[in-house]
Chains A and B, each alone.
Chain A
Amino acid sequence: MKKTLLLSAFAAAGMAAGAASAGTLDDVKARGKLNCGTNTGLVGFAAPDANGEWQGFDVALCRAIAAAVLDDPNAIEFVSTTGKTRFTALASGEIDVLVRNTTWTFSRDADLKFEFTGVNYYDGQGFMVPKDLGVSSAKELDGATVCIQTGTTTELNLADFFRANNISYEPVPIETNAEGQQQYLAGACDVYTTDASGLAATRATFEDPDAHVLLPEIISKEPLGPLVRHGDNEWGDVVRWTLNALISAEELGITSANLASLVEAADPSTPEINRILGTEGTLGEMIGLDPDWAARAIAVGGNYGEIFAKNIGEETPIGLARGLNAQWTDGGLLYSPPFR
């Protein structure tokens, strides 16, 4: 009796697993909600506001996907994941897409069986020093004490950088970013190093941000992007092209302000805009969505540039410059394949 129960439980599990792999896109549509894996809280990228509404740069991409698929930017179940639980949450099917400052690396792509569907933020490891130190380049940091989070890739990158430049340093190991801020402010170390976006956010919280400078050197590549499970290419396409639609929208000048008029006008002289907005061609049909899927995604928070400016841009307390995250036409790395 017990054995049959167990067997049938396994059979049910197998069937359910089979049903799940039938297509995340169909699952999401049937459920009416997108399960989006996000951070437990990262300044500017994902954090709930005083009303409990999730806000941030990563969150905006989740909302755009939900709007494209379900026509409702709020039809999302945000699943907070830590650095340790994020990959199991995605692999087990608890979440449909993970947008959580996750660096695209070879082993995560190949070994963990995930598919990175693009890059929404190009980050890299940087240095912050007090202005009084009078240092203008990381190469002048010979003999400096450096606050560094233990057990991270930043630790390895740091060692590589100093060895390559043949200068010495003394590491001050810290456990968390919060501890790092305190140690750095207390003068326990001359330099604080972590991802450049994190440094900028940290600096913004200081009582006197102008007394600290970020050095120009970026010593590692940290392309952060959304990822989905291996083997569900239809769903991967939806996530990839939603991100590309936001990037292309900025390149082509589609903003949340002129979106409605562009849809209405459907000017024949701008065919790519029309194809993105679904007034021409059948791109939506090809990825299993309505013709106006991209228009809905852009309508939520505007194009990539608008989302950037609102959440982490120079007008915000975090104050990140576009840098590598500018359009390729402006000297950045953002380059969306054509909508054709």
Chain B
Amino acid sequence: MSDHISFVRTEQLPELPPPAREQGVVKWMRENLFAGPVNSALTVVSIFVIFQLVTGVWPWFANSVWNTDSLSECRQVLDGRTGACFSVLTERWNQLLFGFKYPSSEYWRPALAFLLLLPAAAPVMFFDLPRKLLAFTAIYPFLAFHLIWGGTVLIPIFAMAGFVGAYLVFSGLVSRSFLWASVGAVVAALVIWRVGGMLTGMIGPDNPTLVSVPSRDMGGFMLNMILGVVCVSLSLPLGIVLALGRQSDMPIIKIICVVFIEFIRGVPLITLLFVANVVLAYFLPPGTTFDLILRVIIMITLFASAYIAEVIRGGLAALPRGQYEAADSLGLDYPQAMRLIILPQALKISIPGIVNVAVGLFKDTTLVSVISMFDIVGMIRGPILASTAWNGVYWELFLFAAVLFFIVCYGISQYSQWLERRLATDHR
């Protein structure tokens, strides 16, 4: 046996690379783009279409003109070539963002308010952040109001004092009776606002540090942002209350909520806006018009809250009955059960629906252009397209508006996806 030496490999052979068609880009393309004759044909057609699109659109961007004063000048510069006249944006960007009446020396105020919105919203949106940051969130609405509208600083201070007073009264009385605590809180707030209003009239400075800007002068994308942010943040709590009210066993509350929700959902938003703008003017005494933006905010908030209420009702209905019974058997009363057991789960289920409503509502704010408010679409359709310099520019302006809206709406949707992942407690 000794003459028969079998070959024994002592170490492993080096791994050979996989065949060229089974690795890298080639494999990916073969599997995803050219898997079969139909697949290949579709790929070729798609590439052709994309190529056509890009080559068709590219000169429009490449030849774009950024520094002329009017459409005719821009066309002279282009001299017959295809090209975008983005100079309308460089000349009118301020009107698109802030409206045409907001004093240009004060642009920093809404801009600052927008920047401060980010730290104010962060602790609400990302609950891993320290809870102390919520203090800034509480101050922010008053700060933003003061920055954007200006006027005497006393108004937001007294407004805030009213809420603080209401909170103190409520927390003092709530251990005795929830009802009386609520009534007391409302009374306290009203007293403080009334006294504050009189004091503001007496000692308010004639020339406040921040020039007062009336609501009429708000416009542009700023108006969309104001309406969107305020209405979304107001309609969410209101929607929760309505959803719970609709599930209530108390007949009057239930009927009120059902009627409200069904009425609002049965009426187009544009109708409500017309009511806010036109019809209310007939009922109010002449000269006592109350703020148009406030009217519109109320209407959009009511509208959105009815939809959010239905979304949340879906979430509530999706919870197994056992969750309610478990809460009851733990001895929790209704507010505790809702706050600790039911709503956290129901809201989690409702997130996609709520975000859907929020995105839709934000885009619906452009409807105010129909009641002659100059939001970004109103600015484009009205003053800018009606100026002799820029009549005839469409794509550039609406593209700009679309980009702004896309950024915000895509941000909202990305946030909601993050939120869903973060809250996922099931084990799928």
Contacts and interface: CB of A to CB of B under 8 A. Distances in A.
Interface in B240-297: 274, 277-278, 281-282, 284-289
Contacts of B216: 77
A15 B288 CA distance: 12
Nearest to A47: B386
Contacts of B371: 82, 85
A178 B286 CA distance: 36
8 contacts: A17-B286, A40-B372, A41-B384, A43-B387, A77-B216, A88-B281, A92-B286, A318-B388
A207 interface: yes
A41 B286 CA distance: 26
Contact of B281 (A49, A80, A94): A94
Interface stretch (B27-35, B137-145, B346-354, B374-382): B374-382
Interface string B362-405: 00000000111010001001111111110110100000000000
Given A46-B386, A48-B100, A201 B285 contact: no
A93 B287 contact: yes
Given A43-B391, A82-B370, 13 more contacts: A17-B285, A20-B286, A20-B287, A40-B378, A41-B382, A43-B386, A48-B100, A50-B92, A50-B387, A80-B372, A80-B382, A88-B278, A181-B392
Contacts of B274: 84
Contacts of A201: 391
A13 interface: yes
B282 A92 contact: yes
Most chain B CB atoms below 10 A, which of A81, A85, A182: A85
B117 interface: no
B72 interface: yes
Interface in B291-308: none
Contacts of B392: 181, 205-206
A50 B91 contact: yes
Interface of A: 12-17, 20, 39-44, 46-50, 52, 77, 79-82, 84-85, 88-89, 92-94, 178, 181-182, 201-202, 204-207, 316-318
B372 A47 contact: no
A190 B251 CA distance: 64
A205 B394 contact: no
A292 B330 CA distance: 86
A92 B95 CA distance: 29
Nearest to A44: B388
Most chain A CB atoms below 10 A, which of B285, B289, B370: B285
Given A44-B388, A82-B370, A178-B385, A205 B92 contact: no
Nearest to B280: A92
Given A13-B284, A16-B286, A93-B286, A41 B383 contact: yes
Contacts of B225: none
B109 interface: no
A215 B102 CA distance: 43
B408 to A, nearest CB: 24
A15 B392 CA distance: 49
Contacts of B287: 16, 20, 93
Contacts of A43: 386-388, 391
A49 B387 contact: yes
Contacts of B383: 40-41, 47-48
A39 B281 CA distance: 19
Interface residues of B, number: 37
B71 interface: yes
The interface residues of chain B, by DSSP majority, are classed as helix
B394 A178 contact: yes
Contacts of A12: 285
A89 B71 CA distance: 34
Contacts of B100: 48, 52
Contact of A16 (B71, B277, B285, B385): B285
B284 A81 contact: no
B288 A16 contact: yes
B194 interface: no
A207 B75 contact: yes
B101 interface: yes
Contact of B285 (A13, A48, A89, A204): A13
Contact of A85 (B91, B278, B286, B388): B278
B72 to A, nearest CB: 7
Contacts of A316: 388
A20 B286 CA distance: 7
Contacts of B75: 207
A202 B71 CA distance: 13
A200 to B, nearest CB: 11
Interface in B47-75: 71-72, 75
B388 to A, nearest CB: 5
Given A81-B372, A205-B392, A41 B385 contact: yes
A40 B381 contact: yes
Nearest to A41: B386
Nearest to B373: A80
A89 B281 contact: yes
A50 B270 CA distance: 30
What 7 A-B pairs are tightest by C-beta distance, nearest first?
Answer: A41-B386, A205-B392, A41-B382, A13-B285, A40-B382, A16-B285, A93-B286
A12 B287 CA distance: 11
Given A41-B382, A81-B372, A47 B282 contact: no
B241 to A, nearest CB: 24
A317 B389 CA distance: 9
Contacts of A81: 372
A82 B385 contact: no
B386 A85 contact: no
Given A48-B100, A82-B370, A205 B391 contact: yes
Nearest to B288: A16
A88 B282 CA distance: 8
Interface string B188-229: 000000000000000000000000000010000000000000
Contacts of B95: 48, 50, 52
Nearest to B91: A50
Interface in B308-323: none
A82 B289 CA distance: 19
B293 to A, nearest CB: 15
Contacts of A202: 391
A88 B326 CA distance: 57
Contacts of B278: 84-85, 88-89
A261 B354 CA distance: 70
A88 B100 CA distance: 24
Contacts of A80: 372, 374, 382
B113 to A, nearest CB: 20
A205 B386 contact: no
Most chain A CB atoms below 10 A, which of B289, B370, B385, B386: B386
B286 A317 contact: no
Contacts of A17: 285-286
A202 B385 CA distance: 11
Contacts of A77: 216
